[in-house]
């Protein structure tokens, strides 16, 4: 089984203010865990730049133009109180888009069985016409539309296990019956969407969890809501919005998931991809703001992609004080 990893140094140049949770240290922690010898068999590529024509299948022209116009020549610009751009942010966001579309290319051409895109900023909060929640472009939704355009994929599914609901993906897919969005998330919590009654045109499946819920409740939500709906949908491609802020260590949520829960979910989604679309699966990094929890969760997620088992990476500690911001 070939797993392809996309990264790019531009993710280190998307700088946010001191104290901001979506910080450079996140990608440093991810890069550090994936440099472990356990991952020597990963195929690795640098992410290309995303193309305007691909972005515009998911976002309005005005949105793309606003992001370009807001990109600062120096300092920082706030798109909203949470979402900030620095000098390096535009390239970083475009590389995140390019990784997702190149990942689609890789699984459809047979270059890889599955793909993990380890880049930032995240994307699932970005709506058709609005950047928000740390997100500029919605790379998962862009990749889904790209698969339909480039490879005639009739049905594309995005499954999201970030602690926050992916309002952006839901917004972009809302009226498109051939795009599936399934989400487990904490509710109530930012951004306030994700109720079970939000169903689009029968293509949206929300399985909200309550603060304090752990692996048992998460697995029940996946088994009773998300996975059965995914089987009925029978996707030609599975895209994973892989947010790891449902981890019990994470400061931005109150769910109690462990690395083993993320491994279990990864394996279940791989099984669904194998049944319906020859194993084609592209995973994109979303949230995860405790560095140790993020690194360990990414490690076991990628190990599952590589080997189809839930083997843990041996103890790797990632402390905030060990990794300095690169500005």
What residues act catalytically?
A: 125
What does residue 277 show for φ and ψ, rounded to 5 degrees? Answer: -145, 35
Q: Mention every residue, 6+ apart, whose C-beta is less than 8 A from residue 321.
A: none
Q: Any bridge partners for residue 242, and if so which?
A: 285
If residue 64 lies in a helix (H) or strand (E), which one and from where to where? Answer: helix 61-70
**Torsion angle of C-alpha atoms 282, 256, 136, 269, degrees rounded to 10:** 20
- Name the nearest CA neighbour of 327 among 14, 1, 72, 10: 14
Q: Cis omega before residue 180 (within 30°)?
A: no
Q: What is the DSSP letter of 87?
A: T
Q: Mention every residue, 6+ apart, whose C-beta is less than 8 A from residue 14.
A: 24, 86, 88, 89, 92, 93, 120, 121
Tell me how many helices (H) and strands (E) the chain has. 10, 10
| Distance between CA atoms of residues 56 and 116, nearest Å | 23
Place of tokens 């279990």: 264
| Distance between CA atoms of residues 302 and 30, nearest Å | 11
- How far is the first Cα of the chain from the last one, in angstroms, to the nearest whole number? 37
Q: Mention every residue, 6+ apart, whose C-beta is less than 8 A from residue 78.
A: 84, 85
Query: How long is the chain?
Result: 327
């Amino acid at each position: 089984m070939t797993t392809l990893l996309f990264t790019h140094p531009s993710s280190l140049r998307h700088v946010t203010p001191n104290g901001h949770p979506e910080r450079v240290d996140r990608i440093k922690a991810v890069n550090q865990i994936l440099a472990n010898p356990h991952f020597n068999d990963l195929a690795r590529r640098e992410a290309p730049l995303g193309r305007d024509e691909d972005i515009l299948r998911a976002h309005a022209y005005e949105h793309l133009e606003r992001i370009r116009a807001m990109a600062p020549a120096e300092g920082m610009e706030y798109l909203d109180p949470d979402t900030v751009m620095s000098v390096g942010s535009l390239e970083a966001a475009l590389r995140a888009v390019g990784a997702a579309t190149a990942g689609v290319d890789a699984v459809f051409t047979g270059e890889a069985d599955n793909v993990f895109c380890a880049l930032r900023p995240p994307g699932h909060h970005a709506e058709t016409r609005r950047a928000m929640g740390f997100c500029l472009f919605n790379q998962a939704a862009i990749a889904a539309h790209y698969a339909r355009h480039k490879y005639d994929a009739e049905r594309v599914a995005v499954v999201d296990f970030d602690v926050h609901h992916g309002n952006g993906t839901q917004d972009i897919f809302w009226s498109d019956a051939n795009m599936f969005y399934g989400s487990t998330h904490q509710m109530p919590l930012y951004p306030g969407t994700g109720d079970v009654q939000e169903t689009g045109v029968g293509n949206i499946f929300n399985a909200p969890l309550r603060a304090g819920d752990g692996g048992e409740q998460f697995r029940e939500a996946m088994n009773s809501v998300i996975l059965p709906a995914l089987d009925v949908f029978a996707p030609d491609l599975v895209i994973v919005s892989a947010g790891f802020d449902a981890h019990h260590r994470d400061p931005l949520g109150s769910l109690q998931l462990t690395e083993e829960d993320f491994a279990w979910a990864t394996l279940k989604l791989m099984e669904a991809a194998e049944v319906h679309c020859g194993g084609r699966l592209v995973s994109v990094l979303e949230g995860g703001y405790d560095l140790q929890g993020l690194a360990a969760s990414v490690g076991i997620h990628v190990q599952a992609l590589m080997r189809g088992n839930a083997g843990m990476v041996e103890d790797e500690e990632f402390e905030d004080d060990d990794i300095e911001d690169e500005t």
